[in-house]
Structure 1
Amino acid sequence: MSKNRDDSPLPRFQQPRYGVDAPAFPATLGAVGAACCLAAGRWRSGRSATVTAGTVLLASTGIYLHTTLHGKLRIWRRELDQAGLKGDEQLLDLGCGRGAVLIEAARRLPTGHAVGVDLWSGKDQSGNRPEVTLANAAAAGVADRVEVRTADMTALPFADGSFDVVTSALAIHNIPSSEARYRAVDEAMRVLRPGGRLIVADFWPMARKYAAHIGQGTLRGLGPGYWYGGPWLGVTLLHAVKGR
């Protein structure tokens, strides 16, 4: 059985398991929606509005769960297929979590290498631990080309120009201050080689700000498959190329 850096046995999965993004959010959304629907049966006044509110909240919960469990995975598979990877790239995934993007990228790098960095917050993703990411890589058959590191996106432990591609999925916005978020984007650009590509998916206001900060890049909405409850929490893809 594979081991982690502490030499303790890794979990063993038949298939990768990527967990739920920000698990407290859909749990709260669903609980409030259910409570509204139950309360409507007891109240006469405002019953219609309460039922409507409960229905909207439950529908939003369903959309959220579809995105985090299925939609984002399909979209990242499509985006990585369209990225034109040669297969020998050095790739860095910022805020890799349990490896959804990291592992899909590694599948496309038979002679390359994929490194994921994270601070492993369970608040941002359920069951977020490096040994789970490594177990997912083993289940996907790419453990030989995947590495995980505990590292802060705002101070990456890599030399300038270390990577051909830097990816990130719904991670940079978790950094509390705008100054630190921009520092993470700057770090991503620093570790890219000239001509390397930055591919970041984040909520649309954030993605716009990242593009404005670096003064370049194309922005494209990723559609309903990447809605966290509805279009008000839709995700945009930023694609930028580092100048030579």
Structure 2
Amino acid sequence: MSTNGDGSPLPPLHRPRYGVDAPAVPIVNGAAGVACCLAAARWRRGRTATAAVGAVLLAFTGVYLHTTLRGKLRVWARELDRIGLKGDEQLLDLGCGRGAVLIEAARRLPAGRADGADLWSGKDQSGNSAEATLANAAAAAVGDRVQVHTADMTALPFADGSFDVVTSALAIHNIPSHEGRCRAVDEAMRVLRPGGQLLIADFWWMAGKYAAHIGQGTLRPLGSGYWYGGPFLGITLLHVVKPTEGTGAQTMRRRTEGNA
């Protein structure tokens, strides 16, 4: 059972509604899968191949929906338990959407605060809005420790070293340019205090690029519970502990200043 840093049980999680990530993807693939299966039922020529394509598309859709509705929540609960929160941290979730990671973190911060930053794109998450996030926080009984901000990840409105933990779940890759994604990673490191922890979950090939840009951290695949349709769209976690004052911190400052 997950607990706060003091060993007390977490508050009950009621039924927040987090929506579906990139809702067009399961809609299009699910519709195509159904169409293929219906066509296979009527056709003789090419029936087997068409039915196989339909089955693959429907399986992809099922795995995708499981991840976005259940799997990612279980994975993030596990990962937040793993980093050893004490319960009084200040945490920032980048691209928080309707609050799936933000609220799971806030449940572990009875004496802390969880801030979310987002531009509230409905393309990236269905029904995405600041109001929906706050309503979900209230439903989960953590509304008193959650704040949301309309903010660009590449230019965060927070002072250096404002947060003990920074998280981001499948958000940074939505920035269209490599330079923009690097700026977002630099901003995450900037607002993180020395010794603080950065956790970025993103597609495996993106997470590797973030790690290469930062020049440190560990990469770990998050398993089948975080596949957006299949292993080819699996999610990897980048975990970084920001260097304390010294050579590592000086190197990090030079890298951030060079990308400013």
| TM-score of the two chains, using structure 2 as the length reference | 0.88
5 Å matches for 1:61-210? Answer: 61-210=61-210
Deviations along 1:146-202, whole A, 9 cap, x unmatched?
000000000000010000000000000111111100100000000001011100100
Q: Provide the C-alpha distance between the structure 1 equivalents of 2:42 and 2:62, rounded to a whole number of angstroms.
A: 25
SS of alignment partner, residue 123 of structure 2 = coil
Aligned partner of 1:223 in structure 2 is 223
Query: Where in structure 1 do 4 or more consecutive aligned residues deviate above 3 Å?
Result: none
Kindly report the root-mean-square deviation, in angstroms, between the aligned alpha carbons of the 2 structures. Answer: 0.7
In the TM superposition, residue 40 of structure 1 has moved relative to its aligned partner by 1.1
In the TM superposition, residue 205 of structure 1 has moved relative to its aligned partner by 0.2
Aligned partner of 1:59 in structure 2 is 59
Aligned partner of 1:35 in structure 2 is 35
Aligned partner of 2:11 in structure 1 is none
Q: Provide the C-alpha distance between the structure 2 equivalents of 1:178 and 1:218, rounded to a whole number of angstroms.
A: 21
* In the alignment, structure 1 residue 237 sits paired with structure 2 residue 254: no
- For 2:64, the aligned partner's letter is Y
SS of alignment partner, residue 165 of structure 1 = strand
- Give aligned pairs, total: 231
- For 1:217, the aligned partner's letter is G
SS of alignment partner, residue 42 of structure 2 = coil
In the TM superposition, residue 64 of structure 1 has moved relative to its aligned partner by 0.3
Q: Where do 5+ consecutive residues of structure 1 fail to align?
A: 1-13
In the TM superposition, residue 41 of structure 1 has moved relative to its aligned partner by 2.0
Q: Provide the C-alpha distance between the structure 1 equivalents of 2:193 and 2:83, rounded to a whole number of angstroms.
A: 17
Deviations along 1:18-75, whole A, 9 cap, x unmatched?
0100000000000011111111122222111100000000011000000000000001
Identical-residue share of aligned pairs (%): 79
Q: Provide the C-alpha distance between the structure 1 equivalents of 2:226 and 2:95, rounded to a whole number of angstroms.
A: 18
SS of alignment partner, residue 201 of structure 1 = strand
Q: Provide the C-alpha distance between the structure 2 equivalents of 1:81 and 1:214, rounded to a whole number of angstroms.
A: 24
Q: Provide the C-alpha distance between the structure 2 equivalents of 1:52 and 1:113, rounded to a whole number of angstroms.
A: 49
Q: Where do 5+ consecutive residues of structure 2 fail to align?
A: 1-13, 245-260
SS of alignment partner, residue 17 of structure 1 = coil
SS of alignment partner, residue 41 of structure 1 = helix
- For 1:46, the aligned partner's letter is G
Q: Provide the C-alpha distance between the structure 2 equivalents of 1:238 and 1:142, rounded to a whole number of angstroms.
A: 27
Q: Provide the C-alpha distance between the structure 2 equivalents of 1:71 and 1:41, rounded to a whole number of angstroms.
A: 33
In the TM superposition, residue 231 of structure 1 has moved relative to its aligned partner by 0.4
Aligned partner of 1:25 in structure 2 is 25
Q: Provide the C-alpha distance between the structure 2 equivalents of 1:47 and 1:223, rounded to a whole number of angstroms.
A: 34
In the TM superposition, residue 15 of structure 1 has moved relative to its aligned partner by 1.9
